[in-house]
């Protein structure tokens, strides 16, 4: 579990850094509200990954599948909506 949390923490920082890089290259400035929305989406996604990873590690494939459907579905829909509103208008 330590490896999982270390990996997710590193990926979290890289996702923030990557978004800042994309925005600066495109000349887009996020407001505080947009950063807050991105942060909420990122935390939702990372929590879903951690939950599914834990279920798989515990040998609960049905719970992992439901977690993927719920967290992955909401995360994918939110990613498309946020990207279409902010990055690709």
Chain segment 6-17, per-residue pLDDT in tens: 998 999 999 999
Tell me which residue range forms the domain holding 34.
2-86
HEC string of 4-55?
Answer: HHHHHHHHHHHHHHHHHHHHHHHCCCCCHHHHHHHHHHHHHHHHHHHHHHHH
Q: Are 42 and 16 in contact (CB under 8 A)?
A: yes
| Alpha-carbon gap, residue 33 to 88, rounded angstroms | 18
What is the total count of domains within the chain?
1
pLDDT band at 88 (very low <50, low <70, confident <90, very high): confident
Q: Are 45 and 7 in contact (CB under 8 A)?
A: no
pLDDT tens for residues 19-70?
899 889 988 888 999 999 999 999 999 999 999 999 999 999 999 999 999 9
Q: What was the pLDDT predicted at 80?
A: 94
pTM: 0.82
Q: What was the pLDDT predicted at 83?
A: 87
Q: Are 7 and 49 in contact (CB under 8 A)?
A: no
């Amino acid at each position: 579990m330590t490896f999982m949390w270390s990996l997710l923490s590193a990926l979290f920082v890289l996702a923030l850094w990557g978004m800042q890089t994309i925005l600066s290259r495109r000349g887009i400035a996020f407001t505080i509200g947009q950063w807050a929305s991105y942060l909420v989406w990122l935390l939702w996604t990372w929590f879903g990954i951690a939950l599914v990873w834990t279920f798989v590690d515990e040998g609960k494939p049905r719970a992992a599948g439901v977690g993927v459907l719920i967290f992955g579905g909401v995360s994918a829909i939110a990613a498309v909506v946020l990207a279409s509103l902010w990055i690709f208008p």
